[in-house]
Amino acid sequence: GESVGLHLPTLSVQEGDNSIINCAYSNSASDYFIWYKQESGKGPQFIIDIRSNMDKRQGQRVTVLLNKTVKHLSLQIAATQPGDSAVYFCAENGFTGGGNKLTFGTGTQLKVEL
């Protein structure tokens, strides 16, 4: 079946370094992707999104890259800070004909070391 998954369950980076979190998807019809951040004890929070007609989108300290050829998505965090420590999920947003359906990957734990 179709799936959205992550390559690494845990990523450790030094404070100030850049972080790259990867995500693979298998549904070639997917047209919209979202990255969520989930801090301990909280619900997922929207970080950034990208449509399939784009290759790159930048936000504040974050960049999402989409490679449709290999069905790969990445989240880059510049100058990683302790507050960035969290679990990061990529999600595929598919229009099912009736509404929004998010299919989530299993998540990557980002740990920022001081």
Binding site for another protein (CB under 8 A): 31-32, 34, 41-46, 49, 51, 89, 91, 93-95, 98-107
Of 88, 94, 110, nearest to 35 (Cα)?
88
Q: How long, in residues, is the chain?
A: 114
DSSP count for the chain of H helices, then E strands:
0, 11
Cβ-based nearer residue to another protein, 29 or 114? 29
Cβ-based nearer residue to another protein, 16 or 59? 59
Give the list of residues 6+ apart from residue 100 with CB closer than 8 angstroms, or none: 93
Cβ-based nearer residue to another protein, 20 or 46? 46
Q: How far apart are CB 106 and another protein at their closest, in Å?
A: 4
Q: How far apart are CB 5 and another protein at their closest, in Å?
A: 9
